[in-house]
Amino acid sequence: MKTILNLMLVCLFSTMIFAQEKPVKIVFDVTSSDTKVHESAIRHIKLMSEAYPNSKFEMVMYSGAYKMVVKEESTVSEDMAALAKRNNVDFVVCQASLNYNNIEDSQLVIGVRSVPDGILEIINKQGLGWGYIKEAK
């Protein structure tokens, strides 16, 4: 009987410890020009930022994903602008990709900021212990 009681107590305490949310930091890598990938990436960051409000999420867009952040071309501009208002969500785009495609900062979705290099941004985040998710087809 004593063994069963001890086992139950261990299970109870284990459940309580593992049930507590440990904040995480995740960087999402988006390079695709496919709007379905853009929509999926936004859906992922939306659901995760709601489910884990104490965690941090950053989406880095570069290469073919530059259209994702251009107000007039993006299929996710409204969702992105709304999510950018959250304290735990950040959207960044590679300035080199913008320059290559002749995109001005005034054309960006509200709440999106540029960084000099998207790949370097991801590497720096990983160096700080951020998890990594590649959004792709």
pLDDT tens for 50-105 read 999 999 999 999 999 999 999 999 999 999 999 999 999 999 999 999 999 999 99
Q: What is the CATH number of the domain that holds 34?
A: 3.40.1260.10
Average pLDDT, the chain: 88
* Domain-embedded: residue 57: yes
Q: How many domains does the chain have?
A: 1
Long-range CB contact pairs, 95-103, < 8 A, 24+: 96/62, 97/61, 97/62, 97/63, 97/65, 97/66, 98/66, 101/66, 103/66, 103/70
Residue type, 124: N
Label residue 11 by pLDDT band (50, 70, 90): very low
pLDDT tens for 102-134 read 999 999 999 999 999 999 999 999 999 999 999
Q: Give the model's pLDDT for residue 137.
A: 83
Query: pTM above 0.75?
Result: yes
